[in-house]
Amino acid sequence: MRAEDYSRRQIELAGWPISIETYKLGDVYHCTIYNVDPGARFARADGSTKAEAEQSALEKAERYLKQTRRFPTST
């Protein structure tokens, strides 16, 4: 098998830049969400269509991103 319909793009979600990587392997679409900095994958989902996999992964990603707190940087 080879990855088909491969795509990677950046958007902003819950105030954070993220990358969305999606590809089809066999009959399944795999979607993975990365933060842009530092580039770590932190949410993923599978689906029978690209839209289904991405929507499910983005819902998880948004939930996790909303838990990321920002703190003042002055001492």
Partner 1 sequence: MSEVLVSTDWVAQHGHDANVRVVEVDVDTTAYDQGHVPGAAGWNWTTELCDTLVRDIVPKPKLESLLGKSGIDNNTTIILYGDNNNWFAAWAFWQLKIYGHQDVRIMNGGRKKWVAEGRELSTEKPAFPAKTYTAKAADNSLRAFLPEVQKAVASKSHALVDVRGPQEFTGEILAPPGLPETCQRGGHIPGAKNIPWAKACNDDGTFKSVDELKALYSAQGITADKPVIAYCRIGERSSHTWFVLKHLLGFKDVQNYDGSWTEWGNLVGAAVEKP
Say how far apart CA 40 and CA 37 lie, in whole Å. 7
Q: Which of residues 22-51 bind partner 1 (CB under 8 A)?
A: 23, 25-26, 30, 32-35, 37-44, 46
Residue 52, phi-psi category: left (phi > 0), alpha (psi -120 to 50), beta (remainder): alpha
- The footprint of partner 1 on this chain (CB under 8 A) covers a number of residues equal to 38
**Enclosing H/E stretch for 33:** strand 28-35
| 10 is an interface residue for partner 1 by CB under 8 A | no
CB proximity list for 69: less than 8 A, separation 6 or greater: none
Query: At closest approach, how far in Å is the CB of 51 from partner 1?
Result: 18
Q: Which residues bind partner 1 (CB under 8 A)?
A: 1-4, 6, 8, 16, 18, 21, 23, 25-26, 30, 32-35, 37-44, 46, 61, 64-65, 67-75
